[in-house]
Structure 1
């Protein structure tokens, strides 16, 4: 299976992307290289490989989940760009 320029244009149209001719040509090349690599990977025997949840071991990268004191109300509002006495003030987004 290979990707054609028409395939790239079709997908770009679905995604509402406007691509130049150079970008289309580059994507055809890139996508075909990806498909070639996937074909190579399909040739590997993975019957004895255990599935992974993560590529790296995250067990040691996450901090312990420990309860801490909550941030004081005044301390939280001190970092707000705009606040009234009790709340963060944000620009109105709905008219």
Structure 2
């Protein structure tokens, strides 16, 4: 790994906390090793010379405008009118006028 010091156990614990994961003491070093291996592979990819390699194309262009050659045509991306906010909010069980209010589902 060239430019970074690697993932520490504190980093693993912080990421696990943010992801709401409960890692055992035995899992933490394994996760650290795996994350450092991933970063090592990314470092190797960053060393590749991509000069002259064209950027990847969009899926629609790769498929020639059809989906998997089965005849389904991908629709064009176009701006269309949205739902009326006041109408949607009036049908909501609970709202503050701008956003839906929902019960908290994640507890710490």
TM-score grouping bracket, smaller chain normalisation: 0.5 to 0.7
Deviation at 1:15, TM superposition (A): 1.5
List gaps (5 residues or longer) in structure 2: 74-108
Computed over aligned residues only, the root mean square deviation of the Cα atoms, in angstroms, reads 2.5
Measure the CA separation in 2 of the matches of 1:13 and 1:7. Answer: 10
Measure the CA separation in 2 of the matches of 1:14 and 1:30. Answer: 18
| 4+ residue segments displaced more than 3 Å | none
> Quick check: 1:34 aligned with 2:38?
yes
Q: Give the total of aligned pairs.
A: 65
Greater helix content: 1
CA 20–54 in structure 1, closer or farther in 2 if over 3 Å, else same: farther
CA 31–62 in structure 1, closer or farther in 2 if over 3 Å, else same: farther
List gaps (5 residues or longer) in structure 1: 67-95
Given candidates 10, 18, 34, the residue that maps to 1:6 is: 10
Measure the CA separation in 2 of the matches of 1:27 and 1:10. Answer: 12
Q: Secondary structure at the match of 2:72?
A: coil
Give the TM-score taking structure 2 as reference length: 0.51
Structure 2 equivalent of residue 63 of structure 1: 70
Which of these two proteins has the greater Rg computed from alpha carbons?
A: 1
**Relative contact order, CA 8 A, sep 6+: which one is greater?**
1
Measure the CA separation in 2 of the matches of 1:20 and 1:62. Answer: 48
